[in-house]
Chain A
Amino acid sequence: MIVASSKIASVSDLRTYRERLLKARDPKVRTIRVCIGTGCAAKGSRKILELLKKACEEHGVEVKAEAMCTGCHGFCERGPIVVVSPGEIFYQRVEEGDVADIFRETVMLGRVVERLLYREEADEDGGRGKGKKGGGKGKTDAEAGNGSAAAGEAKKTAAEIPFYATQRRIALAFNGIVDPTSIDSYIAAGGYSALAKVLDGMTPEQVVAEVEKSGLRGRGGGGFPTGRKWRSCREAKGSPKYVIGNGDEGDPGAFMDRSIMEGNPHAVIEGMTICAYAVGSEQGYIYVRNEYPMAVEHLSLAIRQCRELGLLGDDILGTGFKFDIQINRGGGAFVCGESTALMASLEGRAGEPRAKYVHTVEHGLWDKPTNLNNVETYATVPAIINRGADWFASIGTEGSKGTKVFSLVGKVRNTGLVEVPMGMTLRKIVFEIGGGIKGGRAFKAVQTGGPSGGCIPAKYLDTPVDFDELTKLGSMMGSGGMIVMDEDTCMVNVAKYFLNFLRDESCGKCTACREGVAQMVHILERICAGKGEKGDVERLEALCRLIGDASLCGLGKSAPNPVMSTIRYFREEYDAHIVERKCPAKVCKGLFKYAIDPKLCKACGICKKNCPVQCIFGEKKKPHEIDRTKCTLCGTCYDKCPFGAVLKV
């Protein structure tokens, strides 16, 4: 690393600085990139990084190697991920015990450690067998799984893996490549060249026009055209103006913003600085959840590095342009992701939204013109400036340009972070990138847009994913959460789960959201408990309309979406709960019964011993039975049976 003795004084100095960085790199040095994104770190990747660094030091005489950390590679299902260059050899599910092999074989001898390569798994069991034992690495899937077919062929690099091959990365382009803790790493990869281009000859007006032309729409949920927002803010009267990065990602199961802030904080800073130049602002804020400590750490470090190099501060790149960013940590309220609530929180007041009849671009933070975008939106901007609006607009669909990052979670084989061009079908995302449903189960629905989104059924799998198409289906793009559900999911229960979340996270300011959502939860709980009444669905629909019309903020207005969409596509499940008192997916306790399969029962007696009401009887060596008249449907026997002989019927 080059220690900058002073600030980079001009745009051409930045270019020289980069050239110096590139020149200082020894092409013979092998680099080992270890993902320290939250998913991989949870599986111990920091320790792996430490061991690899130590190995590099110890064997410094024999081989020139360098271990570095990177942000999230996206393939969280197969973490921890280690990539060795040259060759871009992609190792997955690396454990501490594998470090020695990787170093000896790949780094020192240039050979590939076959067993750590990606292989498509034929059955869901492959991962499980491995996870249980540390040393059980060498097992193939056929051994680990219960008689599943042989695993697919090994893939050496990420590009060969279907999960990556179908993706197109713009916002995540540097994730997994640069070291998020090093500004040099970002600059060497071409970072801050967009800022240099903007400051070196583009007028603010040209920047706004370029973003407008690109067709970029806000990535945080609303999908408002970014260029138009920038223009409104630029033209708004009042001073000073503020630029805010929204990193208060609160959707359950979403980690797009998190991974960007953790893995490539400089892209967010660069995007925000360009925005500040375009709208005429000198002060920016990034609002990050305090639950994202690594994002806070990496962003703080990045801001410090920028100030040291003169990429933030009074005289950026010697152009006289002044801008600085401050980080504010959110206290964990879901509603603070809403722009006006976020600004209230920034001002030190309780995070509650206000009516937006006067837009925040005119009267935002401290009543001054404020441009607020999601951090993913900002991270996309440098690429647009560098490669041009036309390039960006050529990707995607008519109304939604570019790519979108989704966090693909739920019952898919390949959970993780994916970035795809707008307009890719849900089927392609779930089945090609996601690898289909775990355990050979059938696909039932995919929930997009977080808790306020909707569930999309199988018959719409061929819908191209963009802002307008998802809205047409009664769901939304939201910030990009994508939760896949299989046939074992009860849609009424899902609606109840999301509404419960929204009730707990409602700020309680307005009557419609506070009282209305609580009423909906009350009805849904009744239905799931088998006490549904005739007319409940109609009551829910009426409440949905009311809350949608009468709520104060976007979160309230969209709160009915999970219920509306499940009624729209899975009405028969509601009816089954209410009329037949049955849960078709056998999730809602009390709405199905337990039985013992005499063929599978080994008469071990565990169920009998654990039954709290002693309603299981059976002699030794004879299949047991459940006395339905006494059974309280607690499910203990189902949980305890080691042979899977207790069935839900």
Chain B
Amino acid sequence: MPTINIDGKDFHAETGETILEAARRNGFWIPTLCHHPALSEQASCRLCLVELDRGGWSQMVTSCCYPIRRDIKVRINSEAAVSARRGVMELLLARCPESPELRELARKMNVEGTPYPKVTEAQRNCVLCGLCVRVCAERIGRSAIGFAGRGVNRSVAAPFRMPSKDCIGCGACAAVCPVGTIKLRIHETEIEVSPFKSRMAIRRCSACGAPMSGEPHMKQLEEKTPAAKEYVGLCPDCRRKKSAAAFVPVGSKPVVPR
């Protein structure tokens, strides 16, 4: 089992585990934006940089994807590591000066502002972390959105920036977005995944009528989980009530959801 030395202290690590995992397990905080435990690593936000000691020289590595394969020594809070992360955050703040979520993360890193002007255009504070793209491809299996454009023109979009037929309106992209770029908009009869312009019929809870998700998403759920079919059409509240009703104490009167 390899040992990881973080800021002078030794910890056990699992072979193949990332620096970030080992550090977090041992109570170290490293900021991240493009990392999500359920998704593959992209290492694109560069916020999780730590200094890897190479013996005589050091190198900045992204802790989210650096696998521990032998004994290593890293510095999370060295001057170089802190200033690299600060620099990256300042660049992100210059891109999205209005994002409250990003400013909050910056404050946590003791970064108060940015010395840089805004030179790149971000669609509604998008930091291009790519979590939405990966969740759509890896977890939902739809790949309805992807990266469009190159360099400073990079953005997240559906093909040709048209409403995508592959989008099922599940809202996973909105749920995973760290800066609130992607929003689900509930209209009268439709649900819209903004800013991707895809709209589809909304499914409401069969019991209470509360808006739930896009129709194609609900159909996919029904297909994937045939056993729980009667639950799928219910909103979380009604689902809970239905489950509770099944566990009524012996002798008492069952409560039927309305």
Contacts and interface: CB of A to CB of B under 8 A. Distances in A.
B152 interface: yes
Interface in A503-543: 503-512, 514-516, 518-519, 521-522, 539, 542
A432 B144 CA distance: 59
Contacts of A509: 42, 44, 128, 154
A24 B185 CA distance: 79
A514 B60 CA distance: 18
Contacts of B231: none
Given A357-B61, A518-B119, A518-B120, A512 B152 contact: no
Given A357-B66, A552-B43, A508 B149 contact: yes
B258 interface: no
Interface string B91-128: 11011000000000000000000011101100000011
A446 interface: no
B150 A355 contact: no
A546 B87 contact: yes
A552 to B, nearest CB: 6
Given A355-B62, A522-B119, A550-B87, A507 B151 contact: yes
Given A514-B120, A515-B91, A549-B84, A508 B150 contact: yes
Contacts of B117: 519, 522
Interface size class of A (residues with CB under 8 A): 20 to 34
Interface in B52-92: 60-62, 65-67, 80, 84, 87-88, 91-92
B91 A511 contact: yes
Contacts of B88: 511-512, 546, 550
A357 B151 CA distance: 23
Contacts of A505: 150-151
Given A357-B66, A518-B120, A508 B46 contact: no
Contact of B91 (A350, A358, A519): A519
A506 B150 contact: yes
Contacts of A357: 61, 65-67
B173 interface: no
A463 to B, nearest CB: 24
B22 interface: no
A333 interface: yes
B168 interface: no
Nearest to B117: A522
Contacts of A514: 120, 128, 151-152, 154
B150 A519 contact: no
Interface residues of B, number: 37
A550 B46 contact: yes
Given A512-B91, A549-B60, A350 B147 contact: yes
A197 B120 CA distance: 56
B45 interface: yes
A552 B48 CA distance: 12
A43 interface: no
Contacts of B43: 354-355, 510, 552
A552 B44 contact: yes
A616 to B, nearest CB: 38
Given A519-B94, A519-B119, A511 B151 contact: no
Contact of B128 (A355, A503, A508): A508
B196 to A, nearest CB: 18
Contacts of A518: 119-120, 152
B159 to A, nearest CB: 13
Interface in A247-297: none
B234 interface: no
Given A358-B67, A552-B43, A508 B153 contact: yes
Given A357-B66, A511-B88, A552 B46 contact: yes
Interface in B3-58: 41-47, 49
Contacts of A511: 44-47, 88, 91-92, 127-128
Contacts of B44: 509-511, 552
Contacts of A519: 91, 94, 116-117, 119
A520 B199 CA distance: 40
A273 to B, nearest CB: 33
Interface string A532-565: 0000000100100010011110000000000000
B151 A508 contact: yes
A503 B92 contact: no
B61 A515 contact: no
A512 B94 CA distance: 12
Contacts of A354: 43
Interface centre among B49, B65, B116, B153 (most CB of A within 10 A): B116
A8 B66 CA distance: 49
Interface in A316-370: 333, 350, 354-355, 357-358
B45 to A, nearest CB: 6
B67 A515 contact: no
Contacts of B42: 509
Interface of B: 41-47, 49, 60-62, 65-67, 80, 84, 87-88, 91-92, 94-95, 115-117, 119-120, 127-128, 146-147, 149-154
Nearest first, the 7 closest Cβ-Cβ pairs linking A and B are A508-B154, A515-B91, A546-B87, A506-B151, A508-B151, A355-B43, A549-B60
Given A507-B151, A512-B88, 7 more contacts: A350-B147, A355-B41, A511-B92, A515-B92, A518-B119, A522-B119, A542-B87
